[in-house]
Structure formats: structure tokens, C-alpha cells
């Protein structure tokens, strides 16, 4: 049977949650009091929001946690019907066992429409005596103020490289994998603070080889090597447009990248170039315009070629 490592190695208790020490200490205080307020977990993907909600429920409710906890994804059903249906039906029933309340965990709650949020606000008010809500969001600004004012907000930061490294080495030991030093560095680079992404990339690499190297990870993660992206930009800046164009298509074909994937790497690499800040500003401005066009649905190849042409023009001032 193929195990999904995200679930297999998901921490079961708050003490095992990675990289959010301050938040975990506050949640453990709620467990000690046997009570929690309504909560908002805000932060980027893969930083432990869902894991923290699950671990909190396990420690509060013990063996009956599954009967007193429900997880819903608001991005699947964004409208008012999810509030009037599933959420309201669960919220209005009494908690199981000796527990004083139940928990509704609403993932991606910032996907809810304004009407749905207004209905949720009323549901939170009406059933607070037997139900607590935990809203997981990426952007707190998308949640209406009346809901925010009724909740305690926890802001989850990106997982630090050392924490990512330690957790991946723990998994590697369990799975009997050998991860090279450059492999660890690549996993940290690829994840950018998203531990879930790091684990997924590691599992894909492990399905091919028990020895995890940087080369293997770049081939299986659809991410170009930073050196290749830097070479692409430098070729354009040096005025060798056709060479840069050829390198562009090599990257797109070799790594199976989309235009949006590559534009993000180009943006990140610009900061590592040995050029003036003024030139970096202009390159980033052109990169931002190209990214907007790609998001709007323009042709990847044409837009990326146009970006390289802009880089070549900017490079004339540097030569």
C-alpha cells in the first residue's frame, strides 16, 4: 500500500508540531484550561495550520475527538448553502461525552463569499455555547471584520530552514533514505518554508531512488536549477538574445515548467545578480508585467521571449 507521507508523518500532539513554538505554547495553555475561544489560523500553505487544529482537538477531546471535530474545506463550497447546511447542522447538535463544546475547522475560509461570511457570523454567535470555530486562512484581509473581532488570531510564519531540515532527516531515517547535503539544501530551496511541499518532493524522489540528491530532486519537482535560471538571465543581459531564447526552451522542456513557474524563479534570481539596485528594480518591474500577462492567460512562450528581449535592452546600459 502506498502511504502518503503528509498524513503518515503528521504530528498527533501539539509538542510535535514543527516551527511554531510560540503558537503551540498558547494552544497548550487552552488545553490546560480545557477551553478555547474561536480561532483564526492565518498563514501560508504548509506551515502547520491544519496540523495544529487536529492536534489541539485530539488533546482536548481524547478518544472522542472524531465525534466532536469536523473539518470542512470552504473552497469546495463557497456559498451560503455550506453555512446553512453542513456547518449549521453540526454546530446545533450537542457535544459527545463529557465535553462542553465541539470544534468546526473551516479550511480556506477566506474563499467564502461575503454572504456566506455574514451567515457564518450569525452561526458563530448563536452556537458559541456548544461549538467553537477554527478558521484557516491565507489572507486575513478577506475575512469580514465582525468575524475577526470574535476570534483570536494566530499568525503562522514560514517554517525555518533548520526545522525543515530536522524534520526531513527524521522522515529519511524512518524510510531508510540517504539524503546528500546538496539534497537537503535543494529541499529547503524548493519548499521556501512550506514543510508540506518539502515532504511531497522528498516522497516523489524516494519513489525513484533511496539516495536523494539535488539532481534527482530538480528532475522530479518541476523546478529549474537556480544556476540554469541565472545563466538564462545573464545571457539575455549580455545581449545574446538567441542563446537566451534557446536556454529558455531547454528549461521549459527539460523541467516541464509552465510560464508562471519559471517567472517566479526568474524574479527570485534577479536579487542574486551582481548588478546595480537601479537595474534590478527595472528588471523586477518588467518581470511583474510579464507575470500579470501570464496570469491573465497570455501565451507563455511569447511573453517569456518578450521578457528576455526587455532584459537584453536593459543589458545594453550595463555593457
- One domain, residues 152 and 120: yes
pLDDT of 81 strictly over 70: no
The last residue of one of the domains, among 221, 237, 267, is: 221
Residues 211 and 230 grouped into a single domain: no
Chosen domain end from 104, 134, 156? 156
More confident residue, 153 or 91: 153
pLDDT, averaged across the chain: 89
Per-residue pLDDT, 112: 85
What digits encode the pLDDT tens for the residues 127-157? 888 999 999 999 888 899 999 999 999 999 9
What CATH number has the domain bearing residue 301?
A: 1.20.272.10
Q: Are residues 19 and 77 in the same domain?
A: yes
Q: What is the pLDDT of residue 40?
A: 94
pLDDT recorded at residue 83: 72
Q: Are residue 20 and residue 137 in the same domain, yes or no? A: yes
Whether residues 176 and 216 share a domain: the answer is yes
pLDDT band at 58 (very low <50, low <70, confident <90, very high): very high
Percent of the chain clearing pLDDT 70 (strictly above): 96
End-to-end CA separation in angstroms for the chain? 58
Lowest mean pLDDT: which of 17-21, 75-79, 293-297?
75-79
- Does 77 lie in the same domain as 20? yes
Task: Output the pTM of the full model.
Answer: 0.84
| CATH code (residue 130) | 3.40.50.300
99 touches 61 (CB < 8 A): yes
The per-residue pLDDT for range 270-299, each reduced to its tens digit, is: 998 988 899 999 999 999 999 999 999 999
Share of the chain above pLDDT 90, in %: 58
pLDDT digits (tens, 9 = 90+) for 256-272: 788 888 999 999 999 98
Spatial contact of 42 and 138, defined as CB atoms under 8 Å apart: yes
Q: Is the dihedral of CA 18, 23, 29, 33 positive or negative?
A: negative
CATH of the domain at 207: 1.10.8.60
DSSP bridge pairs for 132? 103
pLDDT of residue 78 exceeding 70 = no
Read off the pLDDT of each residue in 13-22 and give the average, rounded to a whole number. Answer: 92
Domain count for the chain, please give it: 3
Coil/strand/helix, residue 313? helix
- Give the CA distances from residue 109 to residues 136, 144, 170, in Å, rounded to whole numbers and listed in that order: 6, 11, 32
Residue 1, pLDDT score: 38
Task: Answer whether residue 4 shows pLDDT above 80.
Answer: yes
For residue 74, report the phi and psi dihedrals to the nearest 5 degrees: -70, -20
147-199 confidence digits (pLDDT tens): 999 999 999 999 999 999 999 999 999 999 999 999 999 999 988 899 999 99
- Confidence (pLDDT) at 75: 67
Most distant CA pair in the chain: distance in Å? 75
Specify the pLDDT at position 180. Answer: 93
Structural domain of residue 188, as residue ranges? 161-221
Amino acid at each position: 500500500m502506498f502511504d502518503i507521507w503528509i498524513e503518515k508523518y503528521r504530528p498527533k500532539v501539539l509538542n510535535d508540531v514543527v516551527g511554531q513554538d510560540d503558537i503551540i505554547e498558547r494552544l497548550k495553555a487552552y488545553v490546560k484550561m480545557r477551553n478555547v475561544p474561536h480561532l483564526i489560523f492565518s498563514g501560508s500553505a504548509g506551515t502547520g495550520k491544519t496540523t495544529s487544529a487536529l492536534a489541539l482537538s485530539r488533546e482536548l477531546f481524547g478518544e472522542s475527538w472524531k465525534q466532536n471535530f469536523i473539518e470542512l474545506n470552504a473552497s469546495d463550497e463557497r456559498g451560503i448553502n455550506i453555512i446553512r447546511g453542513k456547518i449549521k447542522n453540526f454546530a446545533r447538535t450537542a457535544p459527545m461525552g463529557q465535553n462542553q463544546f465541539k470544534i468546526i475547522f473551516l479550511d480556506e475560509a477566506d474563499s467564502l463569499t461575503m454572504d456566506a461570511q455574514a451567515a457564518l457570523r450569525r452561526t458563530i454567535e448563536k452556537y458559541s455555547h456548544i461549538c467553537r470555530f477554527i478558521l484557516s486562512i491565507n489572507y486575513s484581509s478577506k475575512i469580514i471584520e465582525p468575524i475577526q473581532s470574535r476570534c483570536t488570531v494566530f499568525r503562522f510564519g514560514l517554517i525555518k530552514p533548520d526545522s525543515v531540515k530536522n524534520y526531513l532527516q527524521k522522515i529519511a531515517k524512518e524510510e531508510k533514505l540517504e539524503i546528500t547535503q546538496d539534497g537537503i539544501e535543494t529541499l529547503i530551496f524548493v519548499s521556501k518554508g512550506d514543510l508540506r511541499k518539502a515532504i511531497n518532493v522528498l516522497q516523489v524522489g524516494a519513489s525513484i531512488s533511496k539516495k536523494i540528491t539535488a539532481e534527482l530532486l530538480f528532475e522530479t519537482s518541476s523546478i529549474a536549477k537556480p544556476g540554469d535560471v541565472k545563466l538564462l538571465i545573464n545571457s539575455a543581459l549580455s545581449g545574446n538574445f538567441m542563446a537566451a531564447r534557446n536556454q529558455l526552451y531547454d528549461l521549459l522542456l527539460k523541467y516541464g515548467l509552465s510560464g508562471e513557474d519559471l517567472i517566479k524563479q526568474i524574479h527570485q534570481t534577479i536579487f542574486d545578480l551582481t548588478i546595480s539596485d537601479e537595474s534590478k528594480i527595472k528588471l523586477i518591474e518588467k518581470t511583474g508585467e510579464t507575470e500579470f500577462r501570464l496570469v491573465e492567460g497570455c501565451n507563455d512562450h511569447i511573453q517569456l521571449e518578450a521578457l528576455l528581449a526587455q532584459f537584453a535592452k536593459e543589458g545594453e546600459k550595463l555593457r
